[in-house]
Structure 1
Amino acid sequence: MAFSTLLKAGVVALATAHAEAKPTVNDQIVFLESSNSSLLTYPTQFTQNIVPKSIHSHNDYWRDVPLLTALSYGVGSVEADVWLENGTLFVGHELAALTPARTFASLYVQPLLTVLAGENPKNAFTLNQTTPNGVWDTSSGTPLQLLVDIKTDGVATLPYVLQALEPLRSEGYLTTYANGTLTTSAVTVVGTGNSPLDPIKALEPRDYFYDAPLTQLTDPSLNTTFDVSLSPLASTDYEVAVGWSGIGAISDAQRANITKFVNDAHALGIKARFWDTPGWPIHARDTVWTELMNDGADWLNADDLEAASEF
């Protein structure tokens, strides 16, 4: 039914029901919403009205509903701790937290496939579309960052992680570096924790990247040239690198550390993240967040996603 016809029907219905009252725009909205009209829905609306934000969901798998809760707040980066046990990748903070059902595939790969299938409908309108949409309806070209924190032996675990990512890879959803070209796609996967540097450097093509050490980007002992083709992200422990609690004034030396590390990363085109930032007291947490943002840090590392999304 055409919009004008539907609107006219609403006006007539409301006028009949309220002969002495003129229908308002809000009345029309209520009528149209209650009509279940196909005019009011579209394929990619799963993340409708959600604005992506530079927030990293620290230990994302701790949420009651991992991944989707982060998406609901517009969180642009999530993190899964993975353990290789008997050929399967399980997700949890420690061995005692693992369960048969909570796997890397069930908590992250499969939900991402479902979300991205919705954001990339196959129809006559998308027939010639060559670049897949990301998870964000409001910003389809913005990738979701997925950190894979390997907890078991990195060299032994990496092949299983790469295999687990195959469903996303086969759909063209993974950011990839190949033949000297970095092609950004819907999901950028970054290995951290025990993810092994040398095997990741050797990947060709590469769709599993390396979380570089933010305080050692120019350290010659690592025998590595860090750039976005290898490390779109560099991270460090805030407590070790900076140490300011957020209570009282930050010292010049502490601020200089933040800006030095951030500037080192930005000079290489890499984004900077500080983890293990204070979570309590709340005013101290917010003060540290403010300082990091003012000093150019790219990702706000957060446990309280609601607070971070409103920050």
Structure 2
Amino acid sequence: MRIQKTILPLLLLISLSQGLSAQRRYTPANVHAHNDYQQPVPFFTAHSKQVGSIEADVFLQNGDLYVAHELKEIQPDRTLEALYLKPLRKQIQKHNGTPYGQPEAKLQLLIDLKTDGKATLPVLVKMLEKYPEISANPAIQVVISGNKPAPATWSQFPGFIRFDGTPGEPYTPEELQRIPVFSDNFRKYTKWNGKGPMDSNERAIIEQLVDSVHQLHKKFRFWATPDTETSWQTLMRLKADYLGTDDVAGLTGYLQGSPANKPRHKER
């Protein structure tokens, strides 16, 4: 009996240690800056924290690409080039061909097409071709989300264009090669608000979903997740590869263990 009383707390400590160890693999490289253009300082807020993924919603209007959440929010000076491509190119030039100065540091630029993909993507391709520092850079990954053109047409676009996969959608082996990450709506699987424990049945379904993507050797990202510390912890335990947030400073500070940057508890 005495042995059992000694072993049980020890097993609990080992279990907690293993859980913390699993979480420690998460760094700012796992942070996805959701709707980054809504930050007071787009691009630079996320870049200064060396996040692994930055998201920009894009509209095609009058032959140019504008960054906005809705069509009515378009402003003449808020183009994709002005807010993202030019600043990113400048950082790459500053850091000897890399986005952050470390050869191993990668950056995913996730571009969510809000207008028709067949019309918008060719314009984006031509624009990116003017920025070989970005399009031909092995440390930069351009991923197309939102109104993507049909997968059967993906081969018509240059290899530097990748696509955001949809779980459950059938893809040919060639199409699958163009997908580095799968994304899905968190609200399809749970109404959990990021407080307290998640329903065990919902958790099991989500674990199966993430595992099915990992079996394809692809990364996984949820969108529409609660933006709380409990939610971040849960997503890490669920092994999501990217943690989406509107609170870049809070999440990166939390991952780095800085008391000065504890996250603000807010919901999307």
Tell me the TM-score normalised to structure 1 length: 0.68
Alpha-carbon separation, structure 1, partners of 2:179 and 2:190: 22
Alpha-carbon separation, structure 1, partners of 2:139 and 2:177: 16
Q: Is the 8 A contact 1:55 1:309 kept in 2?
A: yes
Alpha-carbon separation, structure 2, partners of 1:207 and 1:59: 22
Matched position secondary structure for 1:310 = helix
What corresponds to 1:190 in structure 2?
143
1:255-295, Cα deviation, whole Å (9 max, x unpaired): 1122111111111111100111113xxxxx21121111012
Give the C-alpha shift of residue 203 in structure 1: 3.3
Answering whether residue 234 of structure 2 is matched by residue 291 of structure 1, we say yes
Runs of 4+ in 1 over 3 A off after TM superposition: 222-228
Which residue, 203, 211, 221 being the options, matches 2:164? 211
Q: Is the 8 A contact 1:149 1:193 kept in 2?
A: yes
Which residue, 135, 138, 148 being the options, matches 2:99? 135
Q: Is the 8 A contact 1:55 1:308 kept in 2?
A: yes
Show structure 2 runs of 5+ residues with no match.
1-26, 255-268
Larger radius of gyration: 1
Give the C-alpha shift of residue 52 in structure 1: 4.5
Alpha-carbon separation, structure 2, partners of 1:252 and 1:75: 31
**1:101-120 → structure 2 map (5 Å cutoff):** 101-120=77-96
Which residue, 59, 63, 81 being the options, matches 1:87? 63
Identical aligned residues as a percent:
37
- Give the counterpart letter for 1:202 in structure 2: S
Matched position secondary structure for 2:135 = coil
Q: Which is bigger in relative contact order (C-alpha 8 A, separation at least 6)?
A: 2
1:198-218, Cα deviation, whole Å (9 max, x unpaired): 3652136411111111x31xx
- Give the counterpart letter for 1:272 in structure 2: F
What corresponds to 2:252 in structure 1?
309
Q: CA RMSD in A?
A: 2.0
Answering whether residue 149 of structure 2 is matched by residue 201 of structure 1, we say no
What corresponds to 1:231 in structure 2?
179
What corresponds to 2:223 in structure 1?
275
Matched position secondary structure for 1:247 = coil
1:179-238, Cα deviation, whole Å (9 max, x unpaired): xxxxx712100000102133652136411111111x31xx4xx35448762110110111
Give the C-alpha shift of residue 111 in structure 1: 0.8
* 1:141 to 1:228, Cα distance in 2 relative to 1, 3 A: farther
Q: Is the 8 A contact 2:92 2:100 kept in 1?
A: no
Alpha-carbon separation, structure 1, partners of 2:185 and 2:66: 25
Tell me the TM-score normalised to structure 2 length: 0.79
Alpha-carbon separation, structure 2, partners of 1:161 and 1:195: 12
How many residue pairs align between the two structures?
228
- Give the counterpart letter for 2:240 in structure 1: A
